[in-house]
Amino acid sequence: MLRHPLPLLCLLSLFGTAQAQTAPVITAADMPVPGDTLRLSLASPVLPATAPPLSRNGTNQTWNYAALQPLTQRVEAYKSVAASASGLQLVAFGPFGGANRATVATPRTFDFNGATLPVSDVKEFFNLSANDLRSVGFGVTFNGVALPVLYTAGPDVIYSLPLAFGASHTSNSVLVASVPGAGYLSQKRQRRNANDAWGTLTTPFGTFQTLRVVTTIIDHDSVAVGTGPGQGATLPTRREYKWLANGIHVPVLTITTIEVNGAQQVSAVEYRDVYRRPTALATRNRALDAGLRVYPNPSGVGTALQLAVPAGSGPFTVVATDVVGRQLFQRRFLGNEGVMSISAGAFGEFRGVLLLTVTTAQGTVTRRVVRE
């Protein structure tokens, strides 16, 4: 018989509290693998008034983002290299690909500051090991031929594993895509990760013990069309605030900002979720809905799409998905121009109905677009 149960219970309680307050360590077991089909909700970039500041960092923090509302959703699917690659892609990313050998792939956009090449069926290939998760290149289809697009310097290390609080890592990479007669795109990227906080995160998906990683991305893109000279530009600094948890395989929450006139502006909010019916924020969306124009619609394959948003909208994002939630592309615009153009290459050979979701500080509106 226990003579002093109360002190023992107190010790057990303290032990449990200490366990709950331990910073999680993110390993390769917490990264995406072939067979993953992960649903993500996109919320308004205007954060709820109750949302904690992004500057909240350090140990044993509490972040409550339960008030986020899904505006649209997408599904991120990961497959094996054998199921994703063909032709020369199998040579580049397959078992004998050397430094370019990949272990998993997922559909991606191929966006260099809004410019694209006339390619389709774009996928990004990753290599996952105990030491890191790295992008080793892209696969594209041009004139019916599957081609690899490789890093000439790099690769782009997404995470140096394992991820632990207080650690940091910097990766430098150069990706070049050249299509004879069509032009070339190159991207010089610096990715800096700082694991600056850990604690309890709450979203509509649930409550998790998380490690926060702040990724700072500086891109310099160069674009040449046809045989003309190339033009280069350093893009606004982008930061991704990512909360990672054990067993989730993608960030539980990602808040992306871009630097405008020295200040960070939230451009995208995305979180892991289950299927939900998107919530229409009618009042805030009314001005955007009235002023948004997408044309021509219907539009033919090979035709660029023009997009006009209301004056003063500021930075905004455009996400295109098919009717079952598979993402075709995502674009970010600064909103300085009156009319933006989404090139035909962004849509590839897609034919049918797609949903074009535009998110600004005024809200989010989805347009039905037909490609013929």
In this prediction, residue 1 carries a pLDDT of 42
Confidence category of residue 367, pLDDT binned at 50, 70, 90: confident
Q: What are phi and psi of 323, to 5 degrees?
A: -70, -10
In this prediction, residue 124 carries a pLDDT of 97
Q: Residue 129, SS3? A: coil
Contact 13, 5 (CB under 8 A): no
Confidence category of residue 75, pLDDT binned at 50, 70, 90: very high
The pair of structure tokens assigned to 241 is 């605030």
The residue that leads in pLDDT, 115 or 294, is 294
Overall average pLDDT of the 43-64 stretch: 90
In this prediction, residue 277 carries a pLDDT of 74
Angstrom distances, CA of residue 84 to CA of 94, 136, 250, 326, 365: 10, 14, 20, 16, 32
CA distance 33 to 121: 20
Q: From 164, 196, 203, 215, select the one nearest 22 (Cα to Cα).
A: 164
Q: Which helix (H) or strand (E) holds 213?
A: strand 206-225
pLDDT in tens, 2-42: 444 444 444 444 444 444 579 999 999 999 999 999 999 98
State what percent of residues in the chain have pLDDT above 70. Answer: 85
CA distance 372 to 353: 9
Longest CA span, the chain: 88
Residue 308's identity, in one-letter code, is A
In this prediction, residue 278 carries a pLDDT of 62
Confidence category of residue 84, pLDDT binned at 50, 70, 90: very high
In this prediction, residue 177 carries a pLDDT of 86
In this prediction, residue 116 carries a pLDDT of 61
**Res. 151: pLDDT tops 60:** yes
In this prediction, residue 7 carries a pLDDT of 47
In this prediction, residue 358 carries a pLDDT of 85
The residue that leads in pLDDT, 313 or 250, is 250
Contact 320, 327 (CB under 8 A): yes
The pair of structure tokens assigned to 290 is 């009235």
**Res. 345: pLDDT tops 60:** yes
In this prediction, residue 20 carries a pLDDT of 52
The pair of structure tokens assigned to 87 is 């032709």
pTM, entire model: 0.74
CA-based torsion, 49, 54, 56, 58: positive or negative: positive
**Res. 281: pLDDT tops 60:** no
pLDDT in tens, 307-324: 888 877 778 888 888 765
Overall average pLDDT of the 235-244 stretch: 94
Q: How many DSSP H helices and E strands does the chain contain?
A: 5, 22
In this prediction, residue 259 carries a pLDDT of 83
Q: Which residues neighbour 83 within 8 Å (Cβ) at sequence distance 6 or greater?
A: 34
In this prediction, residue 289 carries a pLDDT of 67
Helix intervals (H) in the chain: 5-20, 81-84, 88-93, 282-291, 344-347
In this prediction, residue 286 carries a pLDDT of 62
CA-based torsion, 74, 80, 86, 90: positive or negative: positive
Q: Which residues neighbour 265 within 8 Å (Cβ) at sequence distance 6 or greater?
A: 45, 257, 258, 259, 314, 315
Peptide bond into 95 cis (omega under 30): no
In this prediction, residue 113 carries a pLDDT of 53
Name beta bridge partners: 255: 241, 269
CA distance 291 to 370: 20
Question: Highest-confidence range of 9-18, 233-242, 279-288, by mean pLDDT?
Answer: 233-242
Overall average pLDDT of the 186-191 stretch: 95
Overall average pLDDT of the 330-339 stretch: 75
In this prediction, residue 153 carries a pLDDT of 93
Overall average pLDDT of the 343-348 stretch: 87
Confidence category of residue 150, pLDDT binned at 50, 70, 90: very high
Overall average pLDDT of the 160-172 stretch: 98
Q: What are phi and psi of 158, to 5 degrees?
A: -70, -50
In this prediction, residue 45 carries a pLDDT of 77
CA distance 319 to 72: 9
In this prediction, residue 365 carries a pLDDT of 79
In this prediction, residue 364 carries a pLDDT of 76
In this prediction, residue 12 carries a pLDDT of 40
Residue 177's identity, in one-letter code, is A
Strand pairing class (238-244; 206-225): antiparallel
In this prediction, residue 10 carries a pLDDT of 43
Over the chain, what is the mean pLDDT? Answer: 85
Contact 330, 284 (CB under 8 A): no
Spell out the domains of the chain, with CATH numbers in brackets: 28-272 (no CATH), 286-371 (2.60.40.3080)
Name beta bridge partners: 352: 371
Contact 372, 298 (CB under 8 A): yes
